[in-house]
Structure 1
Amino acid sequence: MVKIIVVDDEEYIRQGLAKLIQRAGKQYEVIGTFASGAELLGQLAMLEPDLIITDIKMPRMTGLELIERLRTLRPDVHIAILSGFSDFKFAQEALRFHVLDYLLKPVDQDELDRLLHMVESGIKEKRRKSEGALEERVRFLLTEHAPVLSEPYVQQVTKELNELPLFRSHCALMLVHAEPVLQKDDLDGLRTYWEHECRVWEWDQARYLVLLSIGSGEHAGRMKELSNIMMRHLAAYRRVRIAASGMFSGAEHLAEEGRRVEKAFYEAWFAEGKQVFMLPFDPPIHEKPPYPVLLLSREWYQALELSDTDRAVEELARWVQELKVRKYPWPQLQESCTHVLGQIREKRGLGASAALEREEPVPHLYGEWAAFAASFRQMAREELAQLKEARKGNQVIHKVKSYIQEHYTKELELSELANLVYLTPSYLSKLFKTETGETITDYIISVRIEQAKLTLRRAQGLKTYEVGEMVGYADPVYFNKVFKKVTGMTPKEYRERAR
């Protein structure tokens, strides 16, 4: 809303201009009309105008004299002047007082609309910059910084914030999170429920910070009332978590209350229920908790090594419960749970690049601890099952390879090898290719040729066809063909080079 004051000694001009302003749009509001500059100055302390439109020629105090006084009292207010053609030289003189524009009498609606739009755009831009500066200062005080190096800046920022209307009375902070991810527009509507100033900023990882100005006569229960309003406003979300700080006065308390609202938020996120609101509390003093991964038991590592899925799942469930009891913040939860999944994947021989392509547990995407914990446990179960299956496949492949190495001189059939490990021929063929990168036939050939090469080097008295028969090739022509394909030379050439 753009708030406007009209000053003119002629009533019909004042009233006429006020009506034209009303026609320009609902975003423009005339908050006062005055017959003289002295009358306006007498009530200016109680008014917060964005634009003052004043006549140039008025008795007792001219428009120029009023503008000069206004520039001392309200240096940032926009000023426009009313003038006739004969008053143009006065209008030119007014420009030295940084008057925004002038309107010729009688006022044209289009010219007025242009002026009002210009003022509105300027106000929006100024507020945008002001909002950015306010958020930057608040974020600085709520974020960890080096007190020794930045203490003078901290004091300067605190002083600047305390000069703002938002901090002249009591304040409170709120952290809001919802599932699915909350939209800022949903919280911007809060301004319609709150009669005092408030600001809403995207804070971190789908959370929003709300800074509220609270009347000095209001009680702490007002925050609870506001939370109930917000809960109803956000009823469409599956999970809502809201935490509020205590009431405080002065920006110098921002950092302390920021830490308190952060603790209250994590209490709310770990709590059960669709909608949770948490006020600050003073938790018992504990030693700094160990890093979450250090809480993994020896039994977990043993179960992981043995691919004992059931036992591993049980140990992870105990570990996850310990995470809940200690209420670790999101960054540590995400890092430690990702680390555990990485441990499982390493046992499967997956590289770092493969691990990065997989889904990771991200706490801020979940509206509550229970949903996050359930999702992580499911991810772990799936990874453990794949590890167990992979190791089972490795055992099968090892058994098949051992059998081939012992019976390579025989005519080996795929069905015979499949019966050995209780699998179908097609499944064994696919599994062998997946695990080793080569077919069973290629592996048999490689074993036979390696043995043939060894025999050719050691048994110089044997004929090459005799060597072929010894490694499973009764047809000497076929033996020569396969040997040359693998080694690039015939058996005879290989023997001569070996000498």
Structure 2
Amino acid sequence: MYKVLLVDDEPSIREGLTTIIEWEKYGFQVIGTAASGREALSRFEELEPDLTIIDIRMPGMTGLEVIKEVRRNHPSSHFLILSGYADFDYAKKAISYGVDGYLLKPVDEEEIIGELERLATVLTQERETLARLAGEDTAYREHQIEALLFDSLEGAGSMEEDSLGLHWPHYQIVLIEIHAAPDLQRGSGMKRKLIEAFDHKDRGIVFSFHSGLGLLSKEMTTSESSARNLYDELEGLLGEWDIHMYGAAGEPVHSTAEIAQSYTQANNVLGERFLFTERRIILWNEGETGEVASEAGVEGVAGTPEPDEAELADKLYYALDIRSSDSVMRVLGEMEDRLVPYHRTEQAIKSAFSQVFSLAINKLVATNQHTQSIMQEHSVLINEVYHQFTLSDLKVMTAEHLNRLIQRMGGGSKDTVLKQMIEFIQRNPGENLKLEVLAEVFNYNSSYLGKLFKNHTGEYFNVFLDKVRMDKAKELLDEGLKVHQVSARVGYANVDYFHGKFKKYVGESPSAYKQARFLSQSKEPAGNGEEE
């Protein structure tokens, strides 16, 4: 059983989580709870849980602060964070710290069960790795490889070369990152299979590294064809296990003293695994790696303009609101084109995508009657963003989720584009609507769409939009809102400008209109048959 610590300042949340889940059924046991950040730190040191489920916002010491403090002494600890809908920015920051997941309050039972099943896989893999490293006869051999890779003491390389018999003309490091379902026997079995194919045939030496298996290879992999051939061979050797595999190769070197350089290059390439576009061993000289990618995650690639995430979110919202799968796919394509070159790193790209999704879906929630379905899909979508292995996986998953959301809202409307446009304007008069943006969403030339709109409605787009806004403004004034509030609600930031527009279309100022309505409604009808 894996040990769980629950942390939330609300007793009902702690009690609810303890009782609604059959923890043992999924391999977990709640061993304690805490009502504050300070108490959580104390209980963590006392209980040493395998998993901590923690509220992101608590008085005194926040969940973020607890996570940072725990990570100082327990860098590999596992966290699931609980967050209210309005706290996404906090949740996003926590996810950037490397937490394992994000649960939206109120917690859905199926959602937390899914997270527990996934984390059971991760924890099992970690235990399996520890057991493998502790019990295998090849431990000494691996230590020698590690010395070649990491030991900078003078003379270490030549000593290991004699010990391992590494009198080769070339040396190359190939790293294989492996993702798979839990299986206590699988890890050792995969490694034995590679040892039989490489160590026993004097082709190289297999070793473990932090996220998979490494190969110190005697054979050189220097072209795309040889990289693809090696990947196919490895996939064939490991094909009996259900795994996702990603590989990277460092540059071949001529001495054992330079092997660490090849390892660093391979590790840097593997750090960009998220951007891999095909299944093969990616070579050290393909694309930008290392420090370039790291810096790009902060400042963007040189010459790449910073993308406007709010603008992308508006376009995605428009596409979702008109229930158009084609429009959603076009916006997703634009997100990839603008966000990926600027951010580059996996974490930055995922955060940017999540930000756009959240901004768009927040607007959708505010204007849609299917609020519950949208909220559920939003929570699942954001979690899934951070669980994707590659950008390609992210694009496929996102398209599936957003198309499912469209269907839940009664999507796939077959109405004409112009009818959809008119309905959209009527639903969203307060948005910063522009013909150019709508033309992009509907995949039309803006000039051509403007002519179609004029022919269909008899009015230019901006005139039609103004009239819709004035009708909405009159409704809001009738409800008692103040003039400046109405102005903002119907899309005019400048009250004086709104005043002029209203008078032009209605024939009197907003204040005069409001006063006239008030007087009309306050008049009492004359009495019938009353005595004088």
Q: TM-score range by the shorter chain?
A: 0.3 to 0.5
